Amino acid sequence: MPPVRGTSFVTFILSRILLPCILPCAAALPAAGAEGPLAALDRIYPDLETLYVDLHRTPELSLQEEKTAAKLADRLRDLGFEVTERIGGHGVVGLLRNGDGPTVMLRTDLDGLPIEEKTGLEYRSAATAVNSDGETVPVMHACGHDVHMTSWIGAATLLAGARDRWRGTLMMVGQPAEEIGLGAGAMLDDGLFSWFPRPDYAFAIHDNANLPAGRIGYTPGAALASADSVDIEIYGKGGHGAYPHTTIDPIVIASRIVVALQTVVSREINPLDPGVITVGSFHAGSKHNIIPDRAHLQLTVRAYSDAVRAHLLSGIERIARAEAEAARAPQPPLVTASQGTSPTINDPDLSRRLARRLASDLGADRVVELPPVMGAEDFSLYGRAGVTAAIFWVGAVEPQRYDAAQAAGTPLPSLHSPLFAPDREPTLRTGTAAMTLAALELFGESDSE
């Protein structure tokens, strides 16, 4: 798959002093005429905001990101990148070669979610799409991938205009299908690190629905969990509800499985090794007085280590089989795991190095260490492919709203909520700044002579 040659590039004249430190939770807003690696951010911000609004209004489902990918590819070409499209589906790769030095990969995800937006924003999404089951569903960027893409383009723009400050190869990766955990693997399987340079470093951001806009969070080591979807089909012997002795009730078997599964975490896993088994769906039967012949459970499973992950998955199958056998089920249950994503382990040294750089440029109070979370990200696969990698959080909550929620003890809309709406300008500026400064640090930024 030969790369598509890029076209023109845009140059921004940048000078060389660092941004002054600014107050916690304030937006990254360089004053007019400010100098340093982010000096051009004021100039390009209106265009970034236009892009963000467009992306927010036009989300596409996982594996359907054709138009979104094309928008990003066109932007990279205009900046002088060599651009290749359709890697692992609708994946985009842009290369900007700038002499000898490391290869630094900046990654964004592209896909939206099948959620109806209820934020009330003037630019809210009214998009719909046909899903894999043939159903027409609403689509929304409820996980902030529009923030990630806009910040990614912002960083590409600033770095393309500041090539006197760094040497190496900038590798921009636009990844599809993150929401279903398939995109990173698909791009790797399609030769991401064979057709293109294997990066020395990979960096990404993710917006955070519980962190004030203007702040950046980092987690050395285990940052996000593995995620596996598990289906259990339980077989019984159906019959009349008035004569249960003539049946083998799969609802009772399934209920015992649900209760027994909780002991895998509470009694089989070291309490210092977190794990989660959640039964999110229980389907069985169709009428009050009919005992069905099947029941179906759907689970999500989370862990921070491969060993715990393997134990949880094997424990689920062991318990399901044992409960079915104890109830004399006519056949063993069918247990299938799918959409598996590995734990995301940030390189500790890299995480701390980048945190120091961001704190130095943006202000120490704006960069905070955060505990790991049980969410999942297929960004993990780039690290597993041998790349030194880290993903950071970017706050997305309007600071006054965050303070009010903390004072009142009320929850904020979470990621994947129909009410989730990032505080647009400070979130975009901070995301752009984080990606730009991280890349410059990894390139070993130097002033031109």
CB of 208 within 8 A of CB of 431? no
pLDDT value for 44: 98
Q: Pick the catalytic residue: 82, 85, 111, 228?
A: 111
C-alpha distances in angstroms, 224 versus 142, 147, 177, 372, 392? 18, 19, 18, 6, 11
C-alpha distances in angstroms, 327 versus 249, 256, 317, 323, 332? 8, 10, 16, 6, 11
Segment 230-241 shows an average pLDDT of 98
**DSSP characters over 130-162:** E-TTS-EEE-B-TT-HHHHHHHHHHHHHHHHTT
pLDDT value for 34: 45
pLDDT value for 366: 98
CB contact set of 336 (below 8 Å; sequence gap of 6+):
230, 231
pLDDT exceeds cutoff 80 at 436: yes
Same domain, 210 and 236: no
Same domain, 252 and 302: yes
CB of 316 within 8 A of CB of 299? yes
On whether residue 35 sits in a domain, the answer given is: no
Q: What is the DSSP letter of 423?
A: -
Same domain, 403 and 424: yes
pLDDT value for 35: 62
On whether residue 33 sits in a domain, the answer given is: no
Cα distance between residue 165 and residue 188, in whole Å? 30
Residue 446's pLDDT band, with cuts at 50, 70 and 90, is low
Same domain, 268 and 386: no
User: 273 an active-site residue?
Assistant: no
Would you state the structure tokens that stand for residue 32, as one six-digit string?
């007019």
pLDDT exceeds cutoff 70 at 174: yes
pLDDT exceeds cutoff 80 at 98: yes
| Helix or strand (DSSP H, E) at 238 | none
Same domain, 304 and 393: no
On whether residue 34 sits in a domain, the answer given is: no
On whether residue 246 sits in a domain, the answer given is: yes
pLDDT value for 382: 98
Same domain, 181 and 285: no
On whether residue 31 sits in a domain, the answer given is: no
Same domain, 364 and 431: yes
CB contact set of 223 (below 8 Å; sequence gap of 6+):
344, 345, 346, 372, 373, 391
Q: 106: closest CA among 352, 438, 446, 377?
A: 438
Cα distance between residue 285 and residue 288, in whole Å? 8
Q: How many domains does the chain have?
A: 2
Q: Count Cβ atoms below 10 Å from residue 310 Cβ, excluding itself.
A: 12
pLDDT exceeds cutoff 50 at 32: no
On whether residue 89 sits in a domain, the answer given is: yes
For 244-295, how does the pLDDT look when each residue is reduced to its tens digit (9 = 90+)? 999 999 999 999 999 999 999 999 999 999 999 999 999 999 999 999 999 9
pLDDT exceeds cutoff 70 at 21: no
On whether residue 183 sits in a domain, the answer given is: yes
Residue 339's pLDDT band, with cuts at 50, 70 and 90, is confident
pLDDT, mean over the chain: 92
**106 DSSP β-pair partners:** 172, 203
Same domain, 221 and 82: yes
Q: Of how many residues is the chain composed?
A: 449
Same domain, 247 and 283: yes
**248 DSSP β-pair partners:** 237
What CATH number did the domain enclosing 302 receive?
A: 3.30.70.360
What CATH number did the domain enclosing 126 receive?
A: 3.40.630.10
Same domain, 145 and 291: no
Same domain, 321 and 391: no
pLDDT exceeds cutoff 60 at 100: yes
Q: Pick the catalytic residue: 178, 179, 207, 293?
A: 178
* Domain edge (last residue) among 341, 372, 388: 341
Q: 48: closest CA among 419, 449, 424?
A: 424
pLDDT exceeds cutoff 90 at 387: yes
**Parent domain of 112:** 41-225+343-443
For 203-226, how does the pLDDT look when each residue is reduced to its tens digit (9 = 90+)? 999 999 999 999 999 999 999 999
Cα distance between residue 55 and residue 75, in whole Å? 13
* Domain edge (last residue) among 326, 341, 356: 341
Same domain, 291 and 349: no
The phi and psi torsions of 427 (rounded to 5 degrees) equal -70, -45
First-residue to last-residue Cα distance in the chain:
39
Residue 325's pLDDT band, with cuts at 50, 70 and 90, is very high
User: 135 an active-site residue?
Assistant: no
Q: Cα dihedral sign for 51, 112, 203, 17?
A: positive
* Domain edge (last residue) among 341, 365, 392: 341
On whether residue 167 sits in a domain, the answer given is: yes
